[in-house]
Structure 1
Amino acid sequence: MTEIIDYELYRVPPRWLFLKLETSDGTVGWGEPVIEGKAGPVAAAVRQLIERHLLHEDPAPVEEHWQVLYRGGFYRGGPILMSAISGIDQALWDIKGKQVGKPVYELLGGPVRDQMRVYQWVTGETIDEVTEDAIEKVEEGFTAVKMLATDGLERVESPAQIETARDRVAAVRDAVGNGVDVGVDLHGRATKTVAKQLVTELEPLKPMFVEEPVVPEHSDAIGEIAKHTTIPIATGERLFSRWDFKPLFEAGHIDIIQPDLSHAGGITEVRKIATMAEAYDISVAPHCPLGPVALASSVQVNATVPNAFIQEQSLNMQYNDRGGLREYLSNPHVLDYSGGKMELPSGPGLGVKIDEERVKLRSEDDSEWSPPLWRTDDGVLTEW
Structure 2
Amino acid sequence: MTNLISKVDVIVTSPARNYVLLKITTEDGVVGWGDATVNGRELAVASYLRDHLAPILVGRDADRIEDTWQYLYRGVYWRRGPINMAAIGAIDLALWDIKGKSLNQPVYQLLGGKVRDRVLAYTHATGWETSELLESVDEVLGRGLRAVRAQSGVPGLSTVYGVTRGIKRYEPAKRDLRPLEEEWDSSAYLRHAPKALAEVRAHIGDEVELLHDAHHRLTPIQAARLGKELEPLHLFWLEDLTPTENQEAFDLIREHTTTPLAVGEVHNTIWDCKDLIINQRIDYVRTCVMHAGGISHVRKIFDLADLYQVKGAPHGPSDVSPLTMAASVQLGMASPAFGMQEYMGYPEQVGTVFSPGYRLVDGYLTASDAPGLGVEIDEDAAREQPYDQAYLPVARTLDGAITNW
Question: Which range, TM-score by smaller chain?
Answer: over 0.9
TM-score (norm 2): 0.88
Query: Aligned with 1:30: secondary structure?
Result: strand
Give the 5 Å matches for 1:89-238.
89-148=92-151, 151=160, 153-154=184-185, 157-158=186-187, 161-238=189-266
Relative to 1, partners in 2 of residues 1:293 and 1:122: Cα closer, same or farther, differing over 3 Å? Answer: same
Q: Distance in 2 between matches of 1:207 and 1:248?
A: 20
Other-structure match for 2:353: 328
Other-structure match for 2:344: 314
- 8 Å Cα contact 1:181-1:207 kept in structure 2: yes
- 8 Å Cα contact 1:49-1:69 kept in structure 2: no
Query: Aligned with 1:18: secondary structure?
Result: strand
Q: Distance in 2 between matches of 1:134 and 1:95?
A: 39
**1:70 paired residue among 70, 73, 89:** 73
Query: Aligned with 2:46: secondary structure?
Result: helix
Give, in angstroms, the shift of residue 176 of structure 1. 1.5
Other-structure match for 1:26: 29
Query: Aligned with 2:22: secondary structure?
Result: strand
- 8 Å Cα contact 1:148-1:186 kept in structure 2: no
**1:42 paired residue among 34, 40, 45:** 45
Q: Distance in 2 between matches of 1:343 and 1:297?
A: 11
Count of residues in Structure 1 that have an aligned counterpart in Structure 2: 372
- RMSD over aligned Cα atoms: 1.7
Moved more, 79-88 or 37-46: 37-46
The amino acid of 2:375's aligned partner reads V
Other-structure match for 2:301: 273
Query: Aligned with 2:76: secondary structure?
Result: coil
Relative to 1, partners in 2 of residues 1:191 and 1:253: Cα closer, same or farther, differing over 3 Å? Answer: same
Q: Distance in 2 between matches of 1:128 and 1:327?
A: 34
The amino acid of 2:379's aligned partner reads E
Give, in angstroms, the shift of residue 16 of structure 1. 1.8
Q: Distance in 2 between matches of 1:218 and 1:133?
A: 35
Structure 1 position 298 matched with structure 2 position 301: no
Q: 1:313-355: per-residue Cα shift (whole Å, max 9, x none)?
A: 2326xxxx6x65544234x4x2331521122210000011112
* Identity fraction in percent: 37
Q: Which runs of 4+ in 1 moved over 6 A?
A: none
Query: Aligned with 1:74: secondary structure?
Result: coil
The amino acid of 2:337's aligned partner reads N
The amino acid of 1:124's aligned partner reads G
Q: Distance in 2 between matches of 1:179 and 1:217?
A: 35
Relative to 1, partners in 2 of residues 1:284 and 1:324: Cα closer, same or farther, differing over 3 Å? Answer: farther
Whose strand proportion is higher, 1 or 2? 2
The amino acid of 2:143's aligned partner reads E
Q: Distance in 1 between matches of 2:113 and 2:271?
A: 26
- 8 Å Cα contact 2:86-2:291 kept in structure 1: yes
Give, in angstroms, the shift of residue 52 of structure 1. 4.2
Unaligned runs of at least 5 residues, structure 2: 155-159, 161-182
Q: 1:81-116: per-residue Cα shift (whole Å, max 9, x none)?
A: 001100110001101110110011111111111111
